[in-house]
A = this chain, B = another copy of it.
Amino acid sequence: MSKLRVGIIGAAGYTGAELIRLIDAHPYLELKFVAARENAGQRLDQVIRSTQGVDGLGELMLERFEEGDALQIGKKIDVAFTALPHAASARLGGALLDAGVQVVDLSADFRLKDQALYEQWYGQHPRPELIPQAVYGLPELYRSKLQGAQLIAGPGCYPTSAILPLAPLIKGDLIELDQPLIVDGKSGLSGAGRKPAQGTLFAESGESMRAYKVAGQHRHTPEMEQELSVLGSQDWKVLFTPQLAPMIRGILTTTYARVKAGVSAAQCREAARDLLQGPLISILPEDTLPDTLHVRGSGRAQIAYAIDDRTGLVLSIAAIDNLARGASSQALAAFNISRDYEEATGIPRLAQYP
């Protein structure tokens, strides 16, 4: 089988670097084009230093890619992974799509189905007409729609960690309606990106645990609400608290909801095993709890449930690697499905432990 030719637009950030690692090990893909606006003209191994000395990779030249280049670049690649700031991603990804290239977008541009909602959170959408054809790239919930998809919207990191465990509770009718869902998320620092900032220096973050954009200010809130609401009979409201923890990778998310009377944790696990199937998810047995260390570098999500009878609450806990399952490896899994490859092709199923 001849390999598909891949381009990465936005190769100099952390999700770009993770894509390079994954695509390099993927048996059916070969990396043909890497673009990074601010590093154009540099060798890849000057920017992603782990590619130093890696034959055929480190010496790739980073290019500058503009809309006007889409036709020409479209002849060189079959699929593009766009890992750019919002708006730029839709604009450049849209141009490639127009040129016949399959696009897997890691930005927020094609996640929200409601253009008005998008524009309320992100500003004007450059290609709103493309929104309807985008498929949300969460394998466990969109596997059949992803088959043959030409435009894939890679889910956000926090939303992945909240939607996976909450979906079975909603779909299985296990929690009370008309109650808010609470999502308490903790992310490693790579989630804040590679751009220099005082707050994410090692010296500022190394012994720091802190919340930010609380009480409905974080843009991942509408994404969670959209995906949870399509699963059931009502529009769900989410209170999302993002927090930074002093680790490089990983998200641990704890959710709280009011459980229906009589529902057991075993039933929650059962509902999760029914709904969430595939090679990259673990519904943990009773008395085992997720740990970001145990999924680091892998595409795996770990999920557990517990019920507190005294308060009538069900809590779920999920652990993912924010750059892998929360971004690049999940985008690759969705792409694999779109091409009818085995879902986990090229994706480590085992974490780097320790």
Residues of A with Cβ closer than 8 Å to B?
14, 17-18, 20-21, 24-25, 48-55, 57, 180, 182, 184, 186, 188-190, 192, 194-198, 200-212, 214-216, 237-239, 241, 243, 245-252, 254, 256, 279, 281-284, 288-298, 300, 302, 306-313, 315, 317, 319, 348-354
- How many Å from the CB of A41 to the closest CB on chain B? 17
Q: How far is the CA of A189 from the CA of B282 in the complex (A)?
A: 26
- How many Å from the CB of A11 to the closest CB on chain B? 13
A302 and B53 form a contact (CB under 8 A)? yes
A180's contact among B201, B300, B312, B351, by CB below 8 Å, is which?
B312
- How many Å from the CB of A88 to the closest CB on chain B? 20
Q: How far is the CA of A300 from the CA of B307 in the complex (A)?
A: 34
B237 and A311 form a contact (CB under 8 A)? yes
Contacts of A252 in B (CB 8 A): 209-211, 243
A300's contact among B21, B53, B247, by CB below 8 Å, is which?
B53
- How many Å from the CB of A183 to the closest CB on chain B? 10
Q: How far is the CA of A189 from the CA of B354 in the complex (A)?
A: 10
A354 and B203 form a contact (CB under 8 A)? yes
Query: Given the known A-B contacts A53-B302, A54-B350, A351-B50, are A200 and B203 also in contact in the complex, defined by CB atoms under 8 Å?
Result: yes
Contacts of A197 in B (CB 8 A): 196, 201
Closest to A352 in B: B297
Q: Give 18 pairs: A residue, B residue, CB < 8 Å, sorted on A.
A: A51-B350, A53-B282, A54-B349, A184-B184, A186-B243, A190-B203, A196-B198, A196-B201, A200-B202, A208-B291, A209-B252, A210-B289, A210-B293, A211-B317, A212-B289, A215-B307, A243-B252, A249-B354
